[in-house]
């Protein structure tokens, strides 16, 4: 079973195709070998190119035309995501008219952008899950209809889908029920360390090409938490160390099936916190992780490294100490740095409620919670005094440190206000 899509040999006249020689798979783009050095996200494209990256991966078609143009100007390729509802949304997949409308909408998208020189491949669905039970037949019928349409309308570009981790059930069902898929993509974080052995142990069933479309530090769902369930977030410097260690020790770059990887997240986003996955600040400042990716892709160290933080303390206690505070009381926070005494650093302190708002199971909050500015009493360099909120509940205090070279570092400490 050499790949997901059963065909004798690739058509080398295609703009992008996956070739195999001597057991090794390779993406060929305009006739030349291409390995994905990518980032998930659609921001900071110039910085991505300067860091040695060559690909961006998105999750939908919002601004797709503009993104393709911007990527082409920056010398980058694009993997656009074609969003579809999760497989358990069976009311949708049983609705023939709704499925037809989606197919027609994506047919227009594919027709419009299939000739764009920045297009690398299509990603049909992100983490939609591929179950076995017969009741999911309407989902598979719709998925294969969409896949066949893309192949018919755009034979020049491969089609993949992104699944969570190395999930054997998903891979079984993709091979059995979606045989025309060109390759499989993986979104994998904490389980990256097991990927080499998983690939080897399952090669008897699937030995086709793959891309890692998201990888990085442990997500909030994989992290230690406080007693009240708030995930503990590492400093931005510790995150950078983890990215480098995971890439060096666990990324299967030597695997003959490996086509490249996209780091998560190239830009700035809210996911439990506004800093957890953000490699950039809203103003474009770069984190230590962005600098680490430059080193991974190009071997080039930054001229000026991002500020190095140790940890933050609230009244001498750290994030893992389950800090309980009374309402309306004054407290102090202190940030410890690896190299204290740098007067050129600028500090921004913020207090905000814990982001636990989820409208639906798969629809987490994408906006930064409101900052409780009135609670900050004073700030002086690496220390701040603040007043705890009057309302009982979970909160965090954040500090972001900027240098004069366009870099930043950040950390935060959760605390819980307990009403008397």
Question: What would the pLDDT profile of 379-416 be if each residue is shown by its tens digit?
Answer: 998 999 999 999 999 999 999 999 999 999 999 999 99
Q: Beta strand 159-164 with 122-126: parallel, antiparallel or unpaired?
A: parallel
What's the pLDDT at 342?
74
Taking alpha carbons only, the member of 197, 198, 106, 186 closest to residue 143 is 106
How does residue 11 score in pLDDT terms, banded at 50, 70 and 90? confident
Burial class of residue 125 (count of CB atoms within 10 Å of its CB; 0-12, 13-18, 19+):
buried
Question: What is the tens place of the pLDDT at every residue in 248-269?
Answer: 999 999 999 999 999 999 999 9
Average pLDDT over residues 319-329: 97
Question: What is the tens place of the pLDDT at every residue in 274-285?
Answer: 999 999 999 999
Say if CB 372 and CB 352 are below 8 A apart: yes
What's the pLDDT at 364?
73
Average pLDDT over residues 108-131: 98
What is the C-alpha separation between 156 and 135, in angstroms, rounded? 34
What is the C-alpha separation between 213 and 185, in angstroms, rounded? 6
What's the pLDDT at 9?
67
DSSP state of 42: S
What is the C-alpha separation between 127 and 217, in angstroms, rounded? 18
What's the pLDDT at 8?
52
Question: What is the tens place of the pLDDT at every residue in 189-220?
Answer: 999 999 999 999 999 999 999 999 999 999 99
Whether residue 343 has pLDDT greater than 60: yes
Q: Beta strand 393-402 with 408-417: parallel, antiparallel or unpaired?
A: antiparallel
pTM score:
0.93
Q: What is the CA radius of gyration of the chain?
A: 23
How does residue 65 score in pLDDT terms, banded at 50, 70 and 90? very high
Structure tokens at 231: 């995930």
What is the C-alpha separation between 36 and 44, in angstroms, rounded? 17
Q: At the top level of CATH, which class does the domain 309-417 belong to?
A: mainly beta
Reduced 3-state DSSP string for 227-275: CCCCECCCCHHHHHHHHHHHHHHHCCCCCCCEEEEEEECCCCCCECECC
Which residues are 346's β-sheet partners?
402
What is the C-alpha separation between 351 and 358, in angstroms, rounded? 20
Parts of the chain belonging to CATH 2.60.40.10: 309-417
What's the pLDDT at 358?
67
Question: What is the tens place of the pLDDT at every residue in 120-133?
Answer: 999 999 999 999 99
Q: What are phi and psi of 256, to 5 degrees?
A: -65, -10
Which residues are 56's β-sheet partners?
39, 78
Taking alpha carbons only, the member of 288, 260, 277 closest to residue 77 is 260
Say if CB 18 and CB 3 are below 8 A apart: yes
Q: Which helix (H) or strand (E) holds 394?
A: strand 393-402
Say if CB 61 and CB 47 are below 8 A apart: no
How does residue 2 score in pLDDT terms, banded at 50, 70 and 90? very low
Say if CB 314 and CB 415 are below 8 A apart: yes
Which residues are 33's β-sheet partners?
28
Parts of the chain belonging to CATH 3.20.20.80: 16-298
How does residue 420 score in pLDDT terms, banded at 50, 70 and 90? confident
Cβ neighbours around 70 below 10 Å, total: 17
Q: Is the dihedral of CA 131, 132, 137, 143 positive or negative?
A: positive
| 3-state DSSP assignment of residue 47 | helix
Instruction: Determine the longest span between alpha carbons in the chain, in angstroms.
Output: 73
Whether residue 361 has pLDDT greater than 70: no
Identify the architecture of domain 16-298 in CATH: Alpha-Beta Barrel (3.20)
How does residue 139 score in pLDDT terms, banded at 50, 70 and 90? very high
What's the pLDDT at 5?
45
Q: Is the peptide bond before 262 cis (omega within 30 degrees of 0)?
A: no
DSSP assignment of 107-133: HHHHHHHTT-TTB--EEEEES-----S
What mean pLDDT, rounded, does the chain reach? 94
Q: What are phi and psi of 396, to 5 degrees?
A: -140, 150
Say if CB 293 and CB 263 are below 8 A apart: yes
């Amino acid at each position: 079973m050499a790949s997901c899509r059963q065909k004798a040999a690739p058509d080398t006249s295609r703009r992008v195709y996956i070739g195999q020689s001597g057991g090794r798979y390779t993406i060929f783009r305009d006739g030349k070998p291409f390995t994905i050095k990518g980032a998930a996200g659609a921001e900071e494209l110039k910085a991505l190119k300067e860091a040695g990256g060559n690909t961006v991966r998105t999750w939908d078609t919002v601004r797709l035309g503009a993104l393709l143009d911007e990527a082409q100007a920056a010398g980058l390729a694009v993997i656009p995501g074609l969003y579809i509802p999760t497989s358990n949304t069976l009311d949708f997949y049983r609705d023939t008219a709704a499925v037809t409308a989606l197919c027609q909408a994506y047919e227009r998208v594919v027709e419009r952008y299939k000739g764009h020189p920045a297009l690398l491949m299509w990603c049909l669905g992100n983490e939609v899950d591929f179950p076995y039970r017969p009741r999911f037949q309407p989902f598979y019928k719709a998925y294969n209809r969409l896949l066949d349409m893309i192949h018919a309308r755009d034979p020049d570009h491969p089609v993949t889908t992104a699944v969570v981790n190395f999930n054997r059930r998903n891979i079984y069902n993709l091979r059995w029920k979606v045989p025309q898929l060109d390759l499989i993509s993986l979104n994998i974080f904490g389980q990256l360390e097991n990927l080499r052995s998983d690939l080897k142990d399952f090669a008897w069933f699937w030995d086709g090409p793959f891309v890692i479309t998201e990888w990085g530090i442990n997500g909030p769902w994989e992290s230690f938490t406080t007693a009240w369930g708030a995930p503990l977030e590492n400093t931005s410097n510790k995150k950078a160390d983890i990215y480098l260690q995971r890439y060096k020790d666990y990324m299967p770059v030597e695997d003959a099936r490996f086509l490249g990887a996209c780091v998560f997240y190239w830009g700035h986003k809210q996911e439990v916190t506004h800093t957890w996955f953000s490699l950039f600040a809203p103003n474009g400042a770069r984190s230590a992780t962005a600098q680490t990716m430059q080193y991974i892709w190009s071997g080039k160290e930054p001229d000026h490294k991002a500020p190095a933080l140790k940890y933050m303390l609230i009244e001498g206690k750290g994030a893992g100490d389950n800090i309980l505070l009374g309402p309306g009381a004054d407290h102090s926070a202190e940030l410890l740095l690896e190299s204290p005494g740098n007067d050129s650093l600028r500090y921004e302190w913020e207090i905000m409620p814990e982001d636990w708002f989820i409208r639906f199971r798969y629809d987490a909050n994408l906006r930064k919670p409101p900052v409780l500015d009135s609670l900050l009493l004073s700030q002086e360099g690496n220390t701040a005094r603040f007043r705890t909120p009057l309302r009982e509940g979970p909160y965090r205090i954040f500090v972001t440190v900027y240098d004069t070279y366009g870099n930043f570092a950040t950390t935060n400490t959760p605390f819980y206000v307990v009403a008397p």
